[in-house]
Amino acid sequence: MYVRLILLFTYIITINTQTGSFPDCKSGPLSTFPICDQSLPSRVRAADVVSRMTTAEKITQLVTTAAAIPRLGLPKFEWWSEALHGVAYSPGVAFGGDLPAASSFPMPINLGATFNLSLVHRIASIISNEARAFNNEGRAGLVFFTPNINIFRDPRWGRGQETPGEDPFLTSQYVYTLINGLQRGDDERYLKIAADCKHYAAYDLEDWNGTDRYHFDARVSDQDLIETYMPPFETCIRDAKVASIMCSYNAVNGVPSCANKFILETIARESYHLDGFVVSDCGAVSTIMNAHHYTSTVEDTVAVALHAGTDLNCGDFYSKNTQTALDKKTIVEADIDQALQRTFNVLVRLGYFDPPEQQPYRKLSKTDVDTEEARQLSLEAAQQSIVLLKNTNKALPFDINGLQNKKIALIGPTANATGLMQGNYFGNAPFLISPLLGFELITQSHSINISYAMGCKITDNDESGFAAAIELAKSSDIVIFLGGIDQSVESEGHDRTSIALPDVQLRLIEQLEKVVRTPLHVVIMSGSSLDLSYVSDSNECASLIWMGYAGQSGGLALANVMFGVYNPGGRLPITIYPESYVNAVSMFDMQMRPSSTNPGRTYKFYTGKAIFEFGDGLSYTTFDYSWSNDSLVSKFSIQSLMKNNYNEKNVVGHPYRVNITNTGMVAGDDVVLAYVIPPQKTFNDQTPPLKKLFGFERVHLNVHESTEVFFPFNMQSLLTVAHDGSKWLEPGFYKILIGKQHIHTIHLQGKPTRWS
């Protein structure tokens, strides 16, 4: 959505929305009509209310700020609310009164780093509780434009922080869990809230090298669409049954997404079975004509968007131009009816027309916002998301008792960060615990001196703060540098040109290394990849932590990790590339596989040497894996698999059983990652992935405790996607890896066979 609009919503929003108003089906104008008859199917009820509108009234309902229709008792309705990682500033959300704040959880990139689906579900359930409470108080809508499930394919993308990472399997598992937590609750009769999977499709560029997202035409092969860009949306629509999707600003292979009948109608509705509506990104209908020049008149623009299946316009293009389209006969009224029946069907499923006393979600109130459970969960999520990337000679955790009367210095531009920890699409948090405050809280009952110096800003080359920082470092027993980037560097509407740690921060680190009494500790806040090779290689840097944008309790979570109150277990959901990566491939290149102008994207195809790999992360303890499988090699005939009518979710052989044992000295979490390495030579030279994730599980183990983890291996993990998007079973040896250990091999025998 327009980033400049989001920036207008500062800490106090003065818009008095009417999104908490509901039609009266007891005694209002609609009470005797089928729309209020709960025994009827939701589609029948939706069609009834649409049929009672005049043409002019229908047009007012085609946009996100839908006007009231007093004669029908329909109040004004704002469709655009936000809740990416907590109820957030947006046209439909107003903080104030009895609801001054909402829980601010870590960003999705952090949640991806937890590899913990049960955590994601708990967070989504609390967000939807708070969203409904805001709605019941008239301070939010019922439809929330979240989540962002685009694949984080390029480290320069400004919005990668909004996603759970670079892997389609991880993203698909995340979105399935998240949508269930957002949309489903104790009452299966109703949607708890309506979520929206965005941005459909192949959207992951903001503004780079002279081309912005409004004008970008994503040229994507069928192979990459099917294998990489579409799977999260397929899961969101087909499996999680999301209530809506958002068509994106960009074009896909020459056709603007919101005018693209193939991806909206053929794929989303016919193939994935979307049972909901399509909303445009804000202003995206107008860009069909004004940016992409796909149409030349307003009436044709309305027609191609409606006919493609864009039901709701975020913006005002439909409200201004639909009557013209009717007059010019590029559309008929049935086109409008179809769009409105889809949107009102979702309102019926939300209980919008039904009596409040029979709906538990209508009883949620201010007491369900910022609860003790939500506060604890925010801290827990932040702790689970922190990734320890380096820990030389067990420099961490700090021994709090051994630091009595010692001095710890926190130096750097993010050491006292508050709002920065919220990333983007945030709301008014109930509190924000900076790293500085977190360290003060954890040491308040000990005689430990915590001092702070900014040293430098995030990107400003001003070194005037160096001297004070260096003097503080000289007098301190432990020095922690806290740096990274912020929304001025990566954000909606803004891509990066460099993935290097800002020069001013690197210079300060080099100066600090010369004066510290003990090796330096480095903490990085960012929502994306930064070349951290200097810190990784330096003998003067003892530890390195990536903490993403960790939300309202981020500073306390960091302190808990560094003092050993919590043993870190997060893993990178992205590849951390060398700085030179950005010179090797254009952001316009949507291809995932390596070529003469592309070193390959993500851990699945990147042929270079990563600074840190997808899945990297350390613990304060150690874990040992053992397994008990029937044999080292399992043989399967391709023809027998085809003959038995397997589908993609059928398990091949037996689930892999792996024993995990904590062999260290402290309790901790291990993220167990299961990969398959397909044969690297195929019959039609398809360049298969180097490896691909097919399972993950986060487990907590006490000292010497063991547990068994099961990983089903389904047909989908064996399939190879060809250039034309078709799927094949290829003969050869498929190696199963748990972590980096080869535990089993599947031998497929027979001739290459097309699956679909």
Question: What pLDDT was estimated at residue 646?
Answer: 67
Question: What pLDDT was estimated at residue 325?
Answer: 98
Q: HEC profile for 396-422? A: CCCCCHHHCCCEEEEECCCCCCCHHHH
Whether 618 is in a domain gets the answer no
CA neighbor of 715 nearest in space, from 654, 650, 655, 656: 650
The pLDDT-based confidence of 686 (bands split at 50, 70, 90) is: confident
Question: What pLDDT was estimated at residue 4?
Answer: 36
Question: What pLDDT was estimated at residue 534?
Answer: 98
Q: For residues 379 and 344, state if they share a domain.
A: no
Whether 547 is in a domain gets the answer yes
Number of domains in the chain: 3
Residue 705, pLDDT > 80, answer yes
Q: For residues 143 and 225, state if they share a domain.
A: yes
Pairing of strands 706-711, 692-701: unpaired
Whether 404 is in a domain gets the answer yes
Q: What is the CA radius of gyration of the chain?
A: 27
- Identify whether the C-beta of residue 105 lies closer than 8 Å to the C-beta of residue 127: yes
Maximum Cα interatomic distance, the chain, rounded to a whole number of Å: 81
% of the chain surpassing 70 pLDDT: 97
Question: What pLDDT was estimated at residue 368?
Answer: 98
% of the chain surpassing 90 pLDDT: 92
Based on the residue annotation, tell me whether 281 is a catalytic residue of this protein: yes
Question: What pLDDT was estimated at residue 530?
Answer: 98
Whether 99 is in a domain gets the answer yes
285: containing domain = 3-10+25-361
User: Angle CA(87)–CA(88)–CA(92) in degrees, nearest 5?
Assistant: 95
For the stretch 573-631, pLDDT in tens is 999 999 999 999 999 999 999 999 999 999 999 999 999 999 999 999 999 999 876 67
Pairing of strands 706-711, 732-738: unpaired
Catalytic residue, candidates 275, 281, 311, 616: 281
Question: What pLDDT was estimated at residue 414?
Answer: 98
Residue 275, pLDDT > 50, answer yes
Whether 588 is in a domain gets the answer no
Q: For residues 408 and 557, state if they share a domain.
A: yes
Question: What pLDDT was estimated at residue 203?
Answer: 98
Helices marked H in 241-316 — which ranges?
261, 284-290, 298-308
Q: For residues 337 and 379, state if they share a domain.
A: no
The pLDDT-based confidence of 162 (bands split at 50, 70, 90) is: very high
Q: For residues 328 and 461, state if they share a domain.
A: no
Q: For residues 60 and 146, state if they share a domain.
A: yes
Q: For residues 213 and 72, state if they share a domain.
A: yes
CA 470 to chain centre: 38
Whether 683 is in a domain gets the answer yes
pLDDT, averaged across the chain: 95
User: Angle CA(130)–CA(134)–CA(135) in degrees, nearest 5?
Assistant: 115
Final residue of a structural domain among 568, 594, 612 = 568
Residue 444 CB partners (closer than 8 Å, separation 6+): none
Q: For residues 226 and 83, state if they share a domain.
A: yes
Which tokens is 137 given?
Answer: 């108080």
Tokens 């397994």 — which residue?
A: 627
Q: By three-state DSSP, how is residue 625 classified? A: strand
Q: What is the CATH number of the domain that holds 408?
A: 3.40.50.1700
Residue 11, pLDDT > 90, answer no
Q: For residues 642 and 522, state if they share a domain.
A: no
Whether 443 is in a domain gets the answer yes
For the stretch 42-80, pLDDT in tens is 999 999 999 999 999 999 999 999 999 999 999 999 999
DSSP string of 478-489? Answer: EEEEEEE--TTT
Q: For residues 207 and 160, state if they share a domain.
A: yes
Q: What is the CATH number of the domain that holds 656?
A: 2.60.40.10
Beta bridge partners of 753: 729
Q: For residues 356 and 377, state if they share a domain.
A: no
CA 187 to chain centre: 26
For the stretch 282-335, pLDDT in tens is 999 999 999 999 999 999 999 999 999 999 999 999 999 999 999 999 999 999
Pairing of strands 656-662, 623-627: antiparallel
Distance CA 712, CA 718 (A): 12
Distance CA 696, CA 119 (A): 14
**pTM value?**
0.95
The pLDDT-based confidence of 13 (bands split at 50, 70, 90) is: very low
* Interval 643-663 mean pLDDT: 85
Question: What pLDDT was estimated at residue 6?
Answer: 38
Question: What pLDDT was estimated at residue 20?
Answer: 52
Whether 272 is in a domain gets the answer yes
Q: What is the CATH number of the domain that holds 249?
A: 3.20.20.300
* Interval 189-196 mean pLDDT: 98
Q: For residues 645 and 534, state if they share a domain.
A: no
